């Protein structure tokens, strides 16, 4: 008999919802505005309504729905089912979201960090399928992360495991938004690739992108990528640095949790195979030759659905382990 | 009723054996030469005899002995019970040690990486008692490591998890014996602290330790520590670098596996509280201010017994999980 879980990927602007079966098939999915400006009760109601809508839209019996998984931005607590204080959800301070959703929908619910949920999604249904030890880096505005160790999401004592964007790869290096120096995020996130380009041009370095800056246009990571491919030396250097620091973070995780596969996700992977090839090249230049425990380095395959599918997967997993 | 396990810490020169009860009490312990020069069969017999001796010396009934845990240098495989090819055990190539010991002693056996066994020892019986998420760094000739995540030893897909000495902390930095550049081991192991001192003096830097070198005496890490305390600036710089890079490795592990406690072990911790204070100071200077998920940073408490006690603990754990 088929069983289902609802996945919710809670974002600052929209939330994505869907119904997923135990074989990772998505029966329906949709996106609705989160409505943070309307306050806590509105957001909670929006999530509860999305759960009901996913069940009815998919046309399954509610009795066959095992539960709801919710991926939430951090800080949050899986153990306590609590959204603590996410920067992009200002109305969601200390909201016991897990129990609220259960109260309103009658379904068991589990709460997970959104980056962890996305990593679990790729592990369960995407690029990590079939492996037991996986690491994921998500290259967006920041660099997110998630670690699966022996088939379990690694949460850690303070529930902040897998904050891989804040691995230090350059001591004394660029200041990160987290206040550390030299985080991989400070070199390799889309926002920081763009920011470095702007800084270098402003400091007087030559680049074909100077004209954009002079016209007051916003330089984004894809412009740096494009300029690098077109032969811009400064852009090529910044892009290459981003890949090299990601490769160092891969070496670090190779030795820390020793995954079979490292998966890259997020908007920046639209740069395509050359990005992957460059990370792999640097990885093999930077890693040891003592053993041949080299992880496969791959792109994620679920795109924007990873968080929603992963949240549903977390609910299936909660059912298995009893750890909602 | 009391239950017991035998712990074996297999080294290149000696092996340490002991009988440990389920409450981590050591009933007896002793050390015997491994005898690598006498070949595989001799080493295997030596281990088997040590097992029998531990049981009889402790005066317990063999029926009350659950099994034997063996900590072996890597490369080795817990899953296959195989010692593969350790540098300091040249006669132990592809030896199915787990099954050989069972065959000879009639006791179940489990094989674990020696650094992991020592980490498990501190987790089970020492500085990590009472926590579920722990990271250990062992500061000896090299820098070893071990990771406990949610009460489980993190082995990883290739069974090389927790090789924390090879976290890269300085890209393009000192060449490590593993062929990577900028490993924490290349700055913070006892051997490398001493090696850096010699290199810097030879390159012309002033130090009170130059006279030792001129006399042909060996400079060791404790000499660097002593000179640093006595006001030698070069020694102080090298010692401080060692602590700073260890602190960076702590920040990395804070974000990777998010432990409650980070434990330092090995000969270098004889430098005492000033070493710990310096690592802590650098840690708090290097870590983020986004969340207060700061691990406690402490010294190991079991000394040279960690590997033996941990090996016995691994056997108790194998009994619990069924994963011998």
Label the pairing between strands B14-21 and B4-10. antiparallel
Neighbours of A41 (CB within 10 A): 11
Average pLDDT on B178-203 reads 97
Does the beta carbon of B113 lie under 8 angstroms from any beta carbon of chain A? no
pLDDT band per the 50, 70, 90 thresholds, residue B157: very high
A37: buried, middle or exposed (CB in 10 Å: 19+, 13-18, 0-12)?
exposed
Which phi and psi (to 5°) does residue B148 adopt?
-110, 125
Give the three-state DSSP class for A100: helix
Does the beta carbon of A259 lie under 8 angstroms from any beta carbon of chain B? yes
H helix or E strand, kind and range, residue B38: none
Distance CA B179, CA A307 (A): 38
pLDDT band per the 50, 70, 90 thresholds, residue A9: very high
Distance CA B132, CA B111 (A): 22
Residues in chain B with CB shorter than 8 Å from the CB of A180 are 251, 286-288
Q: Which of A260, A290, A294 should we substitute to test contact with B (largest number of B Cβ atoms within 10 Å)?
A: A290
CA angle B294, B298, B299 (to 5 degrees): 160
Predicted local confidence at residue A62, as pLDDT: 96
Q: Number of CB pairs < 8 Å for A and B?
A: 158
Does the beta carbon of A136 lie under 8 angstroms from any beta carbon of chain B? no
B57: buried, middle or exposed (CB in 10 Å: 19+, 13-18, 0-12)?
middle
Distance CA B237, CA B154 (A): 34
Q: Which of A86, A132, A156, A262 should we substitute to test contact with B (largest number of B Cβ atoms within 10 Å)?
A: A156
Predicted local confidence at residue B291, as pLDDT: 93
Which phi and psi (to 5°) does residue B32 adopt?
-135, 155
Distance CA A54, CA A45 (A): 14
Does the beta carbon of A245 lie under 8 angstroms from any beta carbon of chain B? yes
pLDDT at B203 > cutoff 90: yes
Residues in chain A with CB shorter than 8 Å from the CB of B154 are 149-150, 257-258
Does the beta carbon of B168 lie under 8 angstroms from any beta carbon of chain A? yes
Which phi and psi (to 5°) does residue B267 adopt?
-55, -35
pLDDT tens digits, one per residue of B55-84? 999 999 999 999 999 999 999 999 999 999
Predicted local confidence at residue A2, as pLDDT: 79
Q: In angstroms, what is the C-alpha Rg of chain A?
A: 20
CB within 8 Å: A180 and B286: yes
Distance CA A21, CA A31 (A): 19
Residues in chain B with CB shorter than 8 Å from the CB of A147 are 256-257
Average pLDDT on B274-286 reads 98
Crossing angle of helices A273-286 and A233-256, in 10° steps, is 60
Predicted local confidence at residue B2, as pLDDT: 80
Q: Which pair of structure tokens corresponds to residue B125? A: 């019986």
pLDDT tens digits, one per residue of A81-132? 999 999 899 999 999 999 999 999 999 999 999 999 999 999 999 999 999 9
Taking only residues 183 to 242 of chain B, the set having a beta carbon closer than 8 angstroms to any beta carbon of chain A reads none
Distance from the Cα of B84 to chain A's closest Cα (Å) equals: 12
Q: Which pair of structure tokens corresponds to residue B113? A: 């990486």
Predicted local confidence at residue A241, as pLDDT: 98
Taking only residues 7 to 66 of chain B, the set having a beta carbon closer than 8 angstroms to any beta carbon of chain A reads none
Does the beta carbon of A154 lie under 8 angstroms from any beta carbon of chain B? yes
- Whether the Cβ atoms of residue B48 and residue B55 lie closer than 8 Å to each other: no
pLDDT tens digits, one per residue of B86-109? 989 999 999 999 999 999 999 999
Does the beta carbon of A162 lie under 8 angstroms from any beta carbon of chain B? yes
Q: Which residue has the higher pLDDT, B1 or B314?
A: B314
pLDDT at A1 > cutoff 80: no
CB within 8 Å: B160 and A291: yes
Does the beta carbon of A321 lie under 8 angstroms from any beta carbon of chain B? no
Residues in chain B with CB shorter than 8 Å from the CB of A286 are 168, 171, 180-181
Distance CA A187, CA A201 (A): 16
Average pLDDT on B226-249 reads 98
Nearest to A147 among B256, B288, B293 (CB): B256
Nearest to A257 among B154, B244, B260 (CB): B154
Distance CA A93, CA A102 (A): 19
Give the three-state DSSP class for A136: strand
A139: buried, middle or exposed (CB in 10 Å: 19+, 13-18, 0-12)?
buried
User: Average pLDDT of chain A?
Assistant: 97
Predicted local confidence at residue B194, as pLDDT: 97
Distance CA B281, CA B294 (A): 12
Distance CA B47, CA B44 (A): 5
CB within 8 Å: A167 and B290: no
Distance from the Cα of A73 to chain B's closest Cα (Å) equals: 14
The whole model's pTM is what? 0.96
Predicted local confidence at residue B92, as pLDDT: 96
CB within 8 Å: B245 and A171: yes
Nearest to A167 among B156, B245, B255 (CB): B255
CB within 8 Å: B178 and A286: no
Cβ-Cβ contacts under 8 Å for B63 (sequence gap 6 or more)? none
Label the pairing between strands A108-113 and A152-153. unpaired
Cβ-Cβ contacts under 8 Å for B16 (sequence gap 6 or more)? B7, B8, B9, B29, B30, B31, B304, B305, B307, B308
Crossing angle of helices A221-229 and A190-202, in 10° steps, is 70
pLDDT at B1 > cutoff 80: no
Does the beta carbon of B245 lie under 8 angstroms from any beta carbon of chain A? yes
Cis bond upstream, residue B75 (ω within 30): yes
């Amino acid at each position: 008999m088929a069983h289902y879980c609802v996945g919710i990927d809670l974002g600052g602007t929209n939330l994505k919802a869907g119904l997923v079966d135990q074989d990772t098939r998505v029966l329906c999915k949709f996106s609705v505005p989160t409505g943070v400006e309307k306050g806590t009760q509105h957001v909670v109601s929006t999530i509860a309504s999305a759960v009901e809508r996913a069940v009815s839209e998919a046309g399954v019996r509610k009795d066959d729905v095992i539960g709801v998984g919710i991926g939430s931005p951090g800080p949050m607590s899986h153990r306590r089912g609590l959204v603590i204080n996410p920067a992009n959800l200002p109305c969601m301070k200390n909201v016991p979201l897990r129990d609220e959703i259960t109260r309103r929908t009658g379904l068991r619910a589990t709460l997970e960090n959104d980056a962890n949920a996305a990593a679990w999604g790729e592990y369960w249904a995407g690029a990590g399928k079939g492996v037991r030890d996986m690491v994921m880096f998500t290259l967006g505005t920041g660099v997110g992360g998630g670690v699966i160790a022996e088939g379990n999401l690694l949460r850690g004592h303070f529930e902040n495991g897998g904050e891989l964007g804040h691995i230090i790869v350059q001591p004394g290096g660029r200041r990160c938004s987290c206040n550390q120096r030299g985080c991989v995020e400070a070199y390799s996130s889309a926002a920081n690739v763009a920011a470095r380009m702007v800084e270098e041009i402003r400091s007087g370095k030559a680049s074909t992108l100077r004209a954009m800056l002079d016209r007051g246009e916003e330089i984004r990571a894809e412009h740096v990528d494009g300029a690098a491919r077109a032969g811009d030396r400064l852009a090529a250097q910044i892009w290459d640095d981003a890949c090299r620091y990601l490769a160092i973070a891969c070496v670090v995780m190779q030795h820390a949790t020793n995954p079979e596969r490292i998966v890259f996700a997020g908007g920046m992977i639209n740069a395509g195979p050359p990005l992957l090839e460059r990370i792999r090249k640097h990885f093999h230049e930077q890693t040891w030759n003592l053993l041949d425990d080299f992880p496969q380095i791959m792109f994620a395959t679920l795109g924007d659905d990873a968080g929603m599918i992963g949240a549903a997967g977390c609910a299936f997993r909660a059912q298995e382990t009893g750890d909602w």
